[in-house]
Structure 1
Amino acid sequence: MANLDKITEIEDLRRIAERKVPRMFYDYVDSGSWTQTTYRNNETDFDRIKLRQRVLVDMEGRSLSTTMAGEDVHMPVAIAPTGFTGMMWADGEIHAARAAEKFGVPFSLSTMSICSIEDVAENTEKPFWFQLYVMRDKEFMENLIKRAKAANCSALILTADLQVLGQRHKDIKNGLSAPPKPTIKNILNLMTKPQWCMNMLGTKRHSFGNIVGHAKGVGDLSSLSSWTAEQFDPGLSWDDVARIKDLWGGKIIIKGVMEPEDAIMAAKSGADAMVVSNHGGRQLDGAPSSIAAISDVVEAVKAESSDTEIWLDSGIRSGQDVLKAISLGAKGTMIGRSFLYGLGAHGEDGVRKALEIIYKELDITMAFCGHTDINTVTDDILIKGSYEYLKSGRPMLEPIRWG
């Protein structure tokens, strides 16, 4: 087990991952679409929200335990579904799922994972969540749902914001593929990543385990890229949500909600939870940050008297970010890049470290803000006006104008 004592923040893990992971897979994680404006704002907008420090408050007996979609969680954080996870570290989904299981937070497996549903189920003990991309091939999609049921997945996450794929410049320039194509550029880069290469030599899982051998016409890697390019369904609608909910028969989470109108539709669809998310800034560049969007979504759902939980994803790099999301009405949060940096840096140990960092930051910040139970946190911890300025798009302080 690596000694990770000197790692104190998610940024430390990011820097290590950047050194260890092949460029195309690191760039896949650490970039957004088009100009990357939304990708950057997801992080920086959290910083613009200021906290109120309280003193002489009894800070003993603190608790971050709560529930997400009815499941007990050690803190209000779940690992988000991410594609190519097994390219950050060999068998990455398995390692991340184990770390989440031991820590007491939910793990979500992506349709576009390297390890299959069955791989993760065979190597973990507790149920995990499965994320579904709706494909044109309805038989394949329905079989995915059946496989998730057979693996005892406890919730289905329906990603609603990927009917068409946003243009991600770095992925195009890098020729992103799993495994990487044997070009001179890729070979030279891989030569500088010996640990990654050795780990990959020790596993048979090198491509999308949920797809290859399961989808019609996809028997090997040569046919995979053309299949995926054609399969995302641009015709996805709220009618499909009802059909998928019936097929699944269990808890369903709709991910990718940013506007009040869509939040109301998600609540009316019977979703157990919705995730305010802009796909980590990887879809519509120019959309607001998730943290800027959440309060309007919360108000819209509250007006409907809905029990649908609201979570937040995109931009969380610290426990303080989690606390700010909770204060604005989120019942839970999801982390993507934060755990992927940990995975790329040190595998399962790195994911555990990322969760520990977020937990400690969340715990201490909550105490400084005068609360001992995460379930009692409200927007009373925020400096009044700092969030309103963020939503308005105006700078927090007007420039000083001299005589």
Structure 2
Amino acid sequence: MSLDARFPAISDLRTRARRRLPHFVWEYLDSGTGSEATTRRNKACFDDVRLMPSILHGEITPDLKTSLMGQDFNLPVGIAPLGMSGMIWPGAEQHLARAAARAGLPYTLSTVATQKPEDLIDVIGEHAWFQLYPPRDPDIRTDMLERIRNAGFSTLVLTVDVPIASRRERQIRSGLTTPPRITPRILAQIAIRPAWAMGMAGRGMPRMRFIDDYAPDTKGLPSNKHAGYLLRTSPDWSYLTWLREHWDGPLIVKGVQDHRNVPRLQSEGVDAIWISNHAGRQFDAAPATIEALPRIRAATDLPIILDGGVESGLDILRALALGADFVMMGRAWHYALAALGPRGPDHLVHILKSDLEANMGQLGLARPQDAANRLPPDGA
């Protein structure tokens, strides 16, 4: 039976991933914070976006190619950063970077991944982005930026929606600590997930290797805080100014939700706005990202990237219709890895491409960027 017959949708990958991951890993990947109202709101608000089917438009050959910040991509979607990615599946960072390179998509490595930027030199493609949790110390900042640049990452993404650690109660209940520690409870969860356990056997429990170079001693940290919090600051506008002066490539600010911040971001010289509420993992009263999109679109002519609640090719078209230029997904790529191993990300590319083409055929669209033309007329 083909992969398409067994796993035709992201929901199928998610179901299989849950069966193959230890409980504490699943809770880390799939959980939000609080009652997870923001996570649910992200998806519910996507479902409320209607698009008008087209008739009598004849045969259409979809062209999914997308340009963003002077770079060309084969689909209007990329791989968002996910901290401790290598805990979700052994070698996740390398697998995802290779898959992105094969597919012609951007891959974003997190500051708190389990691999250093240098570990991916041989596998990243031309669209390598790096997500920065802002270090407090200027010397550490400077050194990090130099290493990121020398490793071949061309685009820097500053995350601004994590001023402090969130609680993420499901993770706490699962027994997960950061970094993970082997306890009898965790060991029991690992024992019943042999595929994950065998993959991790030669690697040891994952750590934030990049952060370890600057903060090797994590003793005494609360269980909901990782080593990055020993280095991190909550950035202000002067921090962004410093970063713009010291990074000569494209600079994206991730975690924007309020349109009133956008004019100043534009005046500070950022190259794109990334609308994100951290997939509901930080604050449980945030607006859905798709709710924030129209006002932010009206406030700027900069490229807009969006994540949060995107679960299909149709959702990608919904985001583009309301003004996004590009969409990023994080959890879905890790569901794919956990479900199918290294072949999972390639299958997810196939799912998204097929779904985009099928829905574009219904909408009479040759290009996904034209999705706004299929919004219902006022009053419909």
Normalising by the residue count of structure 2, what TM-score does the alignment of the two structures yield?
0.93
> 1:51 & 1:376 partners in 2: Cα distance?
12
Aligned counterpart, 1:281: 280
The percent of aligned pairs where both chains have the same amino acid is 32
> 1:334 & 1:84 partners in 2: Cα distance?
18
Tell me if structure 2 keeps the 8 A contact 1:34–1:167. yes
SS of the residue corresponding to residue 209 of structure 2 reads coil
Tell me if structure 1 keeps the 8 A contact 2:82–2:330. yes
> 1:138 & 1:272 partners in 2: Cα distance?
22
Moved more, 353-362 or 154-163: 353-362
Aligned counterpart, 1:381: 374
> 2:138 & 2:227 partners in 1: Cα distance?
14
SS of the residue corresponding to residue 6 of structure 2 reads coil
Instruction: Write out per-residue CA displacement over residues 196-239 of structure 1, whole angstroms, 9 at most, x where no aligned residue.
Output: 01111233672112111x10x416x65786643443313x1121
Q: Which runs of 5+ in 2 are unaligned?
A: none
> 1:231 & 1:291 partners in 2: Cα distance?
32
**Structure 1 position 369, deviation (Å):** 0.9
Aligned counterpart, 1:259: 258
Q: Which runs of 5+ in 1 are unaligned?
A: 388-403
The verdict on how the C-alpha distance between 1:4 and 1:196 changes in structure 2, with shifts beyond 3 A counting, is farther
Aligned counterpart, 2:249: 250
SS of the residue corresponding to residue 377 of structure 1 reads helix
> 2:298 & 2:291 partners in 1: Cα distance?
13
Question: Counterpart amino acid of 1:371?
Answer: L
The verdict on how the C-alpha distance between 1:122 and 1:223 changes in structure 2, with shifts beyond 3 A counting, is farther
SS of the residue corresponding to residue 121 of structure 2 reads helix
Aligned counterpart, 1:339: 333
Superposition pairs of residues 135-174 of structure 1, within 5 angstroms: 135-174=135-174
Instruction: Write out per-residue CA displacement over residues 233-262 of structure 1, whole angstroms, 9 at most, x where no aligned residue.
Output: 13x112111111111111101101111111
Tell me if structure 2 keeps the 8 A contact 1:49–1:383. no
Tell me if structure 2 keeps the 8 A contact 1:59–1:371. no
Aligned counterpart, 2:39: 39
Tell me if structure 1 keeps the 8 A contact 2:115–2:209. yes
**Structure 1 position 7, deviation (Å):** 0.7
> 1:39 & 1:140 partners in 2: Cα distance?
34
> 1:80 & 1:116 partners in 2: Cα distance?
17
> 1:103 & 1:324 partners in 2: Cα distance?
22
Taking only aligned residues, the RMSD between alpha carbons, in angstroms, comes to 2.0
Aligned counterpart, 1:353: 347
> 2:354 & 2:265 partners in 1: Cα distance?
33
Superposition pairs of residues 66-81 of structure 1, within 5 angstroms: 66-81=66-81
> 2:228 & 2:75 partners in 1: Cα distance?
35
Tell me if structure 1 keeps the 8 A contact 2:178–2:226. no
Moved more, 274-283 or 52-61: 52-61
**Structure 1 position 122, deviation (Å):** 2.6
Instruction: Write out per-residue CA displacement over residues 312-365 of structure 1, whole angstroms, 9 at most, x where no aligned residue.
Output: 111111001000000011110100111111111122211121222112111211
Tell me if structure 1 keeps the 8 A contact 2:175–2:186. no
